[in-house]
């Protein structure tokens, strides 16, 4: 695999074109997690998905790494799938975290990836890594985007700097 600026553009376009699969999965995950945590979670629109993808790919250092993980998962297949279970989970979890951003969103995306992955299955004719790729995109984007009430206000744990040493 060779990652060039043109390759990163191609991967970005592929991820953008995946909106018709990923956005419904994002919203399914948000609904299920909202039910599990007894909260309302705002749905994600295609436009929000596309803007989140554009933000991720606008950061060149992040974009090249996201592109590598997307390309690997798009092509990853293992005979009988199970032997490859660990590698596609590892790559998917890392992709979700990378899309989400910094801590604590990174960790939340990793956890959400496993939840999304359980609710995603390939069509049987696609590479084994493709359903993990969809789950990673959904987990990373849904974590990155607003809609959760706890992300809508300042943290009660923020400590202001009140003295100088």
**144-153 confidence digits (pLDDT tens):** 998 877 777 7
Q: Which residue has the higher pLDDT, 154 or 96?
A: 96
- Whether residue 32 is predicted with pLDDT greater than 70 in this model: the reply is yes
Q: Which of 5-9, 105-109, 137-141, 158-162 has the lowest mean pLDDT?
A: 158-162
Q: What is the mean pLDDT of the chain?
A: 88
Segment 93-113 mean pLDDT: 94
- The Cα–Cα gap between 78 and 80 comes to 6
Please tell me the predicted confidence (pLDDT) of residue 161: 65
What tokens does 114 get? 């496993």
pLDDT band at 86 (very low <50, low <70, confident <90, very high): confident
How far, in Å, are 7, 61, 86, 106 from residue 1 at the CA level?
Answer: 10, 17, 21, 26
Q: Residue 131 contacts by C-beta under 8 Å, 6 or more apart in sequence? A: 117, 120, 121, 122
How far, in Å, are 65, 88, 108, 162 from residue 139 at the CA level?
Answer: 17, 15, 9, 37
Q: Residue 103 contacts by C-beta under 8 Å, 6 or more apart in sequence? A: none
> What are the structural domain ranges in the chain?
5-148
Q: In this prediction, what percent of the chain has a pLDDT beyond 90?
A: 65
């Amino acid at each position: 695999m060779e990652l060039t600026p043109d390759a990163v553009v191609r991967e970005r376009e592929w991820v953008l074109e995946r909106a018709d699969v990923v956005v419904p999965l994002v919203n399914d995950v948000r609904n299920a997690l909202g039910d599990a945590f007894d909260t309302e979670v705002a749905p994600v629109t295609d436009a929000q998905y596309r803007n989140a993808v554009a933000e991720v790919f606008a950061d060149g250092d992040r974009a090249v790494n996201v592109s590598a993980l997307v390309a690997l998962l798009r092509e990853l297949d293992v005979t009988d799938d199970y032997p490859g279970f660990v590698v596609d989970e590892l790559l998917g979890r890392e992709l979700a975290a990378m899309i989400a951003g910094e801590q604590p969103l990174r960790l939340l995306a990793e956890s959400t990836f496993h939840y999304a992955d359980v609710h995603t299955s390939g069509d049987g004719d696609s590479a084994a890594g493709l359903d993990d790729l969809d789950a990673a995109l959904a987990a990373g984007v849904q974590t990155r985007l607003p809609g959760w009430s706890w992300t809508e206000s300042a943290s009660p744990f923020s400590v202001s700097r009140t003295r100088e040493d």
